[in-house]
Amino acid sequence: MEMNTYTVPDITVRKNQGLTHAADFTLPQPWDRYTAEDHQTWATLYQRQSEMLPGRACDEFLQGLAALEVDAHQVPDFDRLNEKLLAATGWRIVAVPGLIPDDVFFEHLANRRFPVTWWLREPHQLDYLQEPDVFHDLFGHVPLLINPVFADYLQAYGKGGMKAKDLGYLPLLARLYWYTVEFGLINTPQGMRIYGAGIVSSKSESVYCLESDSPNRVGFDLQRIMRTRYRIDTFQKTYFVIDSFQQLFDATAPDFTPIYHAVEQLGLLGAGEIDAHDRVFHVGNRVGWAETADV
Ligand SMILES: [Fe+2]
């Protein structure tokens, strides 16, 4: 998701040249635009991550990947994937040109539609690109959508987003999305695991978030997260750890309006700050932390 002011990146413009989208930014998946090189890039990324993730990603993610039969060898066919996803939780994916306006994004989530950027990064961008592409959006986000509790959480988030926009509290909700849906960790009886899409789709961060001594790992707390700035250009300085998806859903079920007011009174925390009330799993040693500003 993306904040208000935003310039469409060159790669998004280039990939979408000649395509048109509907008012809700969806378009049919432009299958004939994928090249043999795109499918090869998908296969490379898929194989790399599926080697990294056992023992690191949570079981729910790995089960989702298997149950949806996400294609390992080529960019998945969205319609085929939707047959399984719809049957499981009533969610579907819709193809979009890239990042879309907040209100359109929230409206899709509120209606159990997950917008997926249709195009794929290029071979020189295997490790990192700033914009979400089909690998991040589909491989990273979609497997958890067959988990009923997470599926409900994301829909509730969309509904909350539509409301937060009207109230002017979008940055608070954006932090919640960032530190859960994108960069969340979960505590399990087998140890700490990843569920955030930004991590499961990244080779280096899927190791760093769990195994490096540099970042903080702190227990999930809704208000704490809504106060915490974040990194968009480096690994996170702090990861937040949930105990279960139910905890995530329960914490976000109440009306957020009084919570927004409380958070406003408390003020912001830097991306790497530890708060006195934190349930700390690990205090980062700060090695390699960027000095540039947090978002
Ligand atoms: Fe994402």
Q: Quote the tokens at residue 179.
A: 């530190």
CA distances (Å), origin 51, targets 40, 55, 80, 116: 17, 10, 25, 24
CA distance linking residue 273 with residue 250, whole number of Å: 26
Q: How close is the Cα of 270 to the center of ligand 1, in Å?
A: 22
User: Which sign, positive or negative, has the C-alpha torsion 215, 216, 218, 221?
Assistant: negative
Q: How many angstroms does the Cα of residue 213 sit away from the middle of ligand 1? A: 25
Q: How far is the CA of 200 from the centre of ligand 1 (A)?
A: 10
Residue 233 host element (H or E)? none
**How close is the Cα of 115 to the center of ligand 1, in Å?**
10
Cα(137) to centroid(ligand 1), Å: 6
Going from the Cα of 289 to the center of ligand 1, the distance in angstroms, rounded, reads 23
Tokens, residue 18 = 């000649």
Look at residue 3 and tell me whether its pLDDT is greater than 60.
no
**Among 55-69, 86-100, 126-140, which is the least confidently predicted range?**
126-140
- Whole-number Å distance, alpha carbon 276 to ligand 1 midpoint, is 30
- According to the model, what pLDDT value does residue 193 have? 98
pTM: predicted TM-score of the whole model, two decimal places? 0.94
Show the tokens assigned to 222. 């809704």
Residue 183 CA, distance from chain mean position: 7
Name the burial class of residue 93, with classes exposed (0-12), middle (13-18) and buried (19+) by CB atoms within 10 angstroms of its CB.
buried
Expressed in angstroms and rounded, the spacing between residue 1 Cα and the centre of ligand 1 is 7
Amino acid at 7: T
Q: Please state the rounded mean pLDDT for residues 244-262.
A: 92
CATH of the structural domain 26-282, one choice from 1.20.1250.20, 1.10.20.140, 1.10.800.10, 3.90.1150.10: 1.10.800.10
Q: How far is the CA of 117 from the centre of ligand 1 (A)?
A: 10
Q: Of residues 5 and 271, which shows the higher confidence score? A: 271
**Residue 275: φ, ψ to 5°:** -100, 150
For residue 293, what pLDDT is reported? 83
In the chain, where does DSSP find H-type helix? 10-15, 36-52, 59-67, 78-89, 102-110, 134, 148-167, 170-177, 197-200, 203-211, 222-226, 245-251, 257-266
Contact criterion met (CB below 8 Å) for 243 and 220: yes
Position with higher pLDDT, 290 vs 61: 61
The three-class DSSP label of residue 126 is coil
> How many angstroms separate the CA atoms of 85 and 90, rounded?
7
Q: Can you tell me which residue has the tokens 């300085």?
A: 237
- Cα 182 to averaged position of ligand 1 atoms, centre (Å): 6
Q: What is the mean pLDDT of residues 166-183?
A: 93
Ligand 1 centroid–CA 272 distance in Å is 21
Give the mean pLDDT of the chain. Answer: 94
On whether the CB atoms of residues 129 and 70 are closer than 8 A, the answer is no
Please, are residues 131 and 10 in contact by the beta-carbon 8 Å criterion?
Answer: no
Rg (CA), the chain: 18
pLDDT for residue 5? 52
pLDDT of 238 strictly over 70: yes
**Worst-scoring range by mean pLDDT, 67-76, 124-133, 232-241?**
124-133
The pLDDT of residue 116 is 98
How would residue 6 be classed by pLDDT, with cut points 50, 70 and 90?
A: low
Contacts of 203 (CB under 8 A, 6+ apart): 48, 49, 52, 127
- pLDDT for the residue numbered 88: 96
User: How far away, in angstroms, is 156 Cα from ligand 1 center?
Assistant: 17
DSSP label of 254 = S
Domain boundaries, the chain: 26-282
206-217 pLDDT, tens digit each: 999 999 999 999
- Interval 20-69: pLDDT, tens: 999 999 999 999 999 999 999 999 999 999 999 999 999 999 999 999 99
Cα 285 from Cα 289, distance rounded (Å): 9
Please give the single-letter amino acid code of residue 105: F
**What's the CA-to-centroid distance between 142 and ligand 1, angstroms?**
10
Tell me how far the alpha carbon of residue 155 lies from the centroid of ligand 1, in angstroms. Answer: 15
- Of 9-13, 88-92, 117-121, 134-138, the poorest mean pLDDT is in 9-13
